Every structure is written in structure tokens, then in C-alpha cells.
Structure 1
Amino acid sequence: MTPERNEKTPDDIDNGVLTTGSIDTAGIGLVGGTTAQVDVDLPALSDDDDFIGDDDVILDTPAAGTEALGADVPGAVDAEIVDDATPGGGVPSTRRAAFHLDEHDAKHAVERVHTRTADVPLQSRRLGEFEAGRETSDLLTADRLLDPAHVVRPEPEGGWQHFLYSISAHRLNLGDGKRARARKELDRRIAAPLGGGAKFVPVLSRKGGVGKTTVSTLLGMALADARDDRVIAIDANPDRGTLADRIGRSSGKTVRDLVRVRGEVVGFNDLSSIVARDETRLDVLASDTDPRVSEALNDRDYHDVAAVAAHYYSIVLTDTGTGIVHSVMEATLELADALVIVAGLSVDEARLASETLTWLETNGFEEQVRNAVVVLNTARPGTPLVRASELEAHFGTRVRSVVRMPYDPHLAAGSAVSFRDLQPATRQAARELAATVVEGLRALAVG
């Protein structure tokens, strides 16, 4: 019995006979922006097909309806299989070439895909522009979301307000009194943030004995007491300065020590061992107390010290000397963001302060003068002989603001100053001066 033959004969291969009876459909599905599927019906092979020669041409005729389908579908895909072995890379011309690619030809078959996409413009829209009435996250504020009936208000300050709060078992809270509200508002003005790096504020006076060092101390204490950032006061008096004596604490180091080790300062701990700090967190850099040193600071030294201070402090106050043409004064004015001019309540002291403003205006510091603050300091007890209101009116025409500093016996002693022990009027004036200086610095940054 002869076994059944399942192998193809050479004639079958040569004549391109398909072993399957028919191919009903062939689908092409490509993943893209739009997928088009084309069903092609091929007739079943008959015995007559075995006699088609290698040179017989198969017409590349699309199935009925496929041409219209590809034209109507947006982004339709045209795909064709190209045999690199055929001349010119075109469509195979015979059935054998179409269905009997050898292994080499199959590896080099290339599928060329031509995608037709419509030009769709891309637009970006901000949040809230998609639909009318949509809200963004910045509208979810605490004032809107929190129920005032359930928010615990802080204990009120003020005699009558606190009394009602206590006897009502904390149920009746009328808020702070007028004086407490004014104090908190002044704290807010002093503590307002400053951007753009360290701000330099020198305190000037061309006449000794008018209270320049005292004003520098009070201004620094008022700033440091209310602000969260660091404040430093530098004694830049070329002669023997007394700024460090007004805070009652000493580090044993001076500005000359900082000039000598400035290259070794790599952190605030290195600097904190040189400066002295008082109870309000004001840092003070003392001047050189060695009587053998005729000049403690020059312009180059001041620039070196200022560069270190600007790296660790937000506000740098400078208690200058009386020599306005000294080299260190020139360096101080070059870095100044705002000026504080101290004038005494006497004819010659007031006139000298006004002449100082004129000198600054004629030497290129007009903008600093317009933004300056003049402090009318009462250094002696009793009623002054000059009318302070007239001085205030005069300087008000030349500078941004004028602040009066009342007489305080605690300051007249010339010893260490305790900010808590000052008279209320003196402490209030110092805080008003600090708020005025901060507002000037903020206005300068905005402008």
C-alpha cells in the first residue's frame, strides 16, 4: 500500500499553486490617529490557475468600495508591501512573485505607510476659560472657608475688652483695644519683608554731640525687636566710636578683627563670635578701641566688611563719623540705600544738618536725599529754645519724612541702653523711625 503523499510537487511550486482552497478576506489594521480597515474578497483558486505562467500579470485593481472608503475616512492609511528584489521596488508583477517570496526577499520586504492627517490647530487655554463660572484654587481662602462662629479668636488686649472676656468665660470677645491695634499695626509696618538683598542705611551727622550714636542704637533695637531677619549696626567711626558701649555687651572683637579674618568666615557662627548681640537681637560690630591705631577703618576696609555683612544680614546700619569727606564716608554713601540725618534742636545744629543735605545733593546723592529721614533729637532736658515745628516744616520740604525723638534721661546718661527701660514716648518714637525707614526701603524697591 502506497503511503499518502502530503508534500508539494515541484510543479506545484513552479506554478504558484496555493495549498488553501481560498482566501476569503484580508484585513489591514494600523494604529494611528485614525484606523481604516479594508476587506478584500479574492476568488477561490481553480485548477485553471495552475496554468498561469510566470509572465502573466496580476492587475492591481482595488476591490469594490475600497477606493471610496479610503477617500472618505479622515486620516486614512495607504499601505503597500514592496519587495526590494523587484525592479524599482514596485508592486510584484506575477502571482509567483506575490505569494512565493523566498527567505531573502521576505527579510527585505518593506511596509510603506502613508498617513493623511487633517491640519488641526492646537490651542492652549487657561484654567477658568473652559466654562463660565469655573473657579481656580486661589479662591479657596481661609476667610471664605472657615466659619467665623467656630474660629477661636486670640485673647483680646485692653483693659475693658479683657475684663468682658474674663467674666463671660471667654464667650464675649470684642477684639483688641485701640492702643493694642495701633501697636500691632506698627509691628506689621516694621516687620514688612524686604527683597533684593541687604539694605544699607547709614546714620549721618556733621556735628558731634547731637545724638547720632544714640539714634543708631535706638533704630537698630527697634528694627531687631520687631523683625524676624537679622539686623547689624557697624561702628564705622574712623576715630574711637562708642556704639558698642550702648548695648552693654562686648565680644572682645572689633571691626579690625573682621577685616583680618574675613576670608575665613564661611558661616554665621564664624561671624557671631566677632559681633555682640543685645536683648533685642541687634548685632553690633564695634570700632577699634586701641589708642595706638590712628585710623580704624578706610574705604577698602569698609567694602570688605560690608560684603561679609550683606551675606548674613538683611539690614546693615552704619554709625558714621563726623568727617563727611573722609574715605570711609565715601564708601558708606556709595552703598547707601537710605539715609538718616540727625539734627539737634539748636540753630547751629539745625543749620549744619541742612547744609549736609545740600552737600549730598551737589555730590550726586539727590535721590538718597529725597528718600532720607531727618531725626530731630532732643538731647537736653527742658523746653528747647528753637521751635521744633519750624524745623520740621523746613526739613519736610527737602526729605521724605521727619521724626522727633524726645528727651529720655535713660539715654542722657550715656551708658548701656535697655530698650525695655525706655520711656514709652521714646520707645514709640524709635519704632516710628524704624517703620519709616522700612517703608522707604520698600518704596525704593518698588520704584
Structure 2
Amino acid sequence: MTGSGGGDWQRDLVRELTDGPPPEGGVPHTSVPEPPPRAQTEPEPPPRTETGPPAPRPPRDPRVPAPAPESLPTIDPRLTIALGSPRPGDSAARRAGAGLRRLTASAGREVVEQSRYAEELQQPVTTGRVVAVTSIRGGVGKSTVSALLGRTFNHYRQDPVLTLEADAALGTLPVRMGAESVRWSAGDLARVLSPAMQLTDITGYLVPVADGGWLLPAGQGRVGAPLDVGTYRTVTLALRRYFAVTVVDCESLPGEVARTAMDTAHARVVVAPMTAEGVHGTRQVLDWLARLPHSALASTVVALSAATPDATLDTKVATAHLREPGVTVVPLPYDRHLAQGGPIHTAKLARDTRDAAVRLAAEVMGRAVRVR
């Protein structure tokens, strides 16, 4: 296109800006002189390489939402079908016998006991309480106990309850809590946390649990970088503002995150398998807790978990051995529903299992509230 008088308006504009005629091809002339040619005898300098740490990223604008990760199923759909129907925790004969025992037992004593547990569980808190759950090794029911505690706290309390997974080793907590899929992880949330966020903002990154409460997974069920101590501290310190109780399903001891969680929690649960070696190893953990700068035994409860109906270890002897350092021990009986794996359905639990879960949660809450 040409302007009035047949001139080229683009060339005229470039001429005004550069104070000179534009070169052929329409590339504007620059007043910066070209560097002189380098002498042939001067060697070319080697390419510059970065030897120091990378430049820090600029802080993320909290007004710009972070890209959402892909939502992934907690269990392969083909395995979900293979799970079958959930089994009741007790057999039909055992359920019938338990009903007869309840009819002949002292109803008044049971009511008093349940009322005491409910009172412990419903204690008001001024700041969020953190309960850390760990064990000496994996596969002893640590995530199962965490899920039972999270659901029990949520059932009895009116304020928000969070169950947080701090075990990135392909943990099973999302499955046990009944989450069908997970999207955001603890690491993702740590990168977007802001003091200006409200509870409604936080819950957008969490998984709602069917029976109530919220779940924050450590990952998406993939093998990857483990949850580090810095991320754990960032998330737990920030979320205490929003949740009255946070149950942390830690990695097994002596993992670094587990040791940090046990040292900083308001109350602790050590899950001990109902075996001779399991009880012996758990006793060593209790002796270690007693040597911490501030003894943690006063706020520690042991959950003695039976994973098989054929356990031969005497429960009374095992309990007495674990109680020697001065901790409370709550036996968790074998439960067919829990042994089946998959999501935990509270209505399917055996009566003894539900009672033990309530007692365990009450013991833990009472200790967490007393810690200042």
C-alpha cells in the first residue's frame, strides 16, 4: 500500500526513526556499529557454561491458578472389579455371639465408657493438632490405622479433619480412604500455598472422603521422588490453620520424614504387628522416643495390630512388654473386612474393631490436646 504522492509510508517512517535511509530489503539501519572482525590468530573463546546453581524462579503469582495435574485412578479399573464385594468384619456366627454377649453385659458400663471416649474425641482445640502414625516396617497396617483414625475423628468432631499421606513409597492410604482417583499431591499443594487462601481454596486441592473429611495424598501412585522434609513441614504448618485434627500416615521408621513427623507431632501412634519380632522392634522405637530432647512417650499410643486370625503370640504378654516404658497399648483385633484390602467401609467393620478404633482415637486426642 502507498501513501499520498506515491511514496512508501513504511520506508518514510523508518527513515524518520533512524535518521537515515533504510537499507535495501526494508531492514532498519541501526546506529550501533558492527564489532571489528576478530584477528585470525586470536582463538575463539570456549562457550560459556553455568557452573553455579540455577537462578531461582520468580515467585508464583497466587492470582494465577497452577496448572492442574492429570487425575489418576487409585486402583486399576480391572483390579477394582476383582476386589469383589466387601466382606463383613465378623462371621455370621461371631456376630450372633457378640449380640448375645451385649445383651448379658452391663449396658450401663458400656454407656459410661462410650461417653468418656466421645468426650475425649470432641475436646475443643485452639490450634490444629497433628497426629503422626508410623511403624517399624511397611505392611503392618499403618495406613489402615491412619484411615480408621481419620474416619473416627471426622465422625465425632464438627470441625474439619484432614488425613495426610506422608509416605510416597506407593502408599495405600487413598485406597483405604475410598478415593477413586487422585489429582493434587502434597508437593503440588506446597507450591501454591499462600497465607491469603481460605479453607474453600484449600479444599479445592484435596480429595473429599465419602464418610466426611478430607484427604491429601503424597503422590499419584507412581514411582517418583519421595516426599521431602521441607515439603512436609511446609504443608503441615500451613494446614494447621484450617483443620482441627490432621492425621499423618508417615513412612516407616527410620525414614527422615517419619522421624521429623514423630518429633514435631502433638501425638504419636506406633503400629506394632502382633508378632514376637514386631513387638520387639516396636519396643526399641519406644526406647528411642524416650531419648528425644523432649520425651515423646507421654503422648504416644501403641496400636497392637493382628493381621491374621492364627496369631499365636499371647496378647496379654505382648501388651505388658510394650507398656513397660509407660505407654498405652490398644489391641486391634483381626478383622476380615480389613484383611480383604481395598476401601474401608465403616459399616462392615467388626464391632470389636470399631470399639478399638474409637478407644485408640480417644487416647490419642486426649494426649494431643494436653500438649502445648
Q: TM-score, normalised by structure 2?
A: 0.66
1:350 equivalenced with 2:279 (yes/no): yes
2:318 matched to 1:388?
no
Letter in 1 for 2:207: A
1:295-374 map, 5 Å: 295=226, 297-326=227-256, 328-366=257-295, 368-374=296-302
Matches of 1:398 and 1:325 in 2, distance apart?
23
Counterpart secondary structure, 1:311: coil
The answer to whether 1:418 aligns with 2:345 is: yes
Q: Which amino acid aligns with 1:356?
A: V
342, 356, 362: which one pairs with 1:429?
Answer: 356
Shift of residue 177, structure 1, vs aligned partner: 6.2
* Aligned residue in 1 for 2:203: 272
Where in structure 2 are the equivalents of 1:31-430 lying within 5 Å? 179-180=110-111, 182-195=113-126, 197-249=127-179, 250-263=181-194, 266-289=197-220, 291-295=222-226, 297-326=227-256, 328-366=257-295, 368-382=296-310, 384-430=311-357
Counterpart in 2 of 1:444? 371
What secondary structure sits across from 1:322 in the alignment?
Answer: coil
Q: What is the SS of the residue equivalent to 1:339? A: strand
User: Contact (CA 8 Å) 2:117, 2:359: kept in 1 or not?
Assistant: yes
C-alpha spacing 1:372/1:264, structure 2 compared with 1 (3 Å): closer
Aligned partners of 1:372 and 1:399 also within 8 Å: no
- CA shift, 1:263, in A, is 2.9
Deviation at 1:238? 3.4
- In structure 2, the CA distance between the partners of 1:387 and 1:240, relative to structure 1 (3 Å rule), is same
Cα deviation, residue 304, structure 1: 1.0
State the distance in 2 between where 1:247 and 1:425 align.
20
Distance 1:401 1:323 in 2: 20
* Aligned counterpart, 2:20: none
Q: Report deviation, 1:178.
A: 5.8
**TM-score, with length taken from structure 1:** 0.56
CA contact (8 A) 1:265 1:271 kept: no
Please say if residues 177 and 343 of structure 2, whose CA atoms lie closer than 8 Å, have aligned partners that are also in contact.
yes
After superposition, the Cα gap between the structure-2 partners of 1:236 and 1:401, relative to the gap in structure 1 and judged at 3 Å, is same
Counterpart-to-counterpart distance in 2, 1:413 and 1:378: 14
Q: What is the rounded CA distance, in whole Å, between the counterparts of 1:243 and 1:349 in structure 2?
A: 21
Q: In structure 2, how many angstroms separate the alpha carbons of the residues matched to 1:395 and 1:420?
A: 31
What is the rounded CA distance, in whole Å, between the counterparts of 2:312 and 2:300 in structure 1?
26
Query: Which stretches in structure 1 are left out of the alignment for 5+ residues?
Result: 1-175
- What is the deviation of 1:333? 2.9
- Structure 2: gaps spanning 5 or more residues: 1-106
SS of the equivalent of 1:194 reads coil
Contact 1:198 1:313 (8 Å CA) reproduced: yes
CA-atom RMSD in angstroms: 2.1
How far apart in 1 are the matches of 2:196 and 2:345?
Answer: 30
Q: Which runs of 4+ in 1 moved over 6 A?
A: none
Shift of residue 211 of structure 1? 0.7
Are the aligned partners of 1:371 and 1:399 in contact in 2 as well (CA < 8 Å)?
Answer: no
- How far does residue 385 in structure 1 lie from its aligned partner after superposition? 1.2
CA drift at 1:358: 1.9
Q: Which one has a bigger Cα radius of gyration? A: 1
Aligned-residue offset at 1:330: 3.7
| Percent identity (aligned) | 27
Q: Compared with structure 1, are the counterparts of its residues 394 and 224 closer, same or farther at alpha carbon in structure 2 (3 Å cutoff)? A: same
Tell me the matched-pair count: 265
1:221-259 per-position Cα deviation (integer Å, ceiling 9, x unaligned): 111100111211111013221111112124522212212
Is this contact kept in 2: 1:230–1:312, CA < 8 A?
Answer: yes
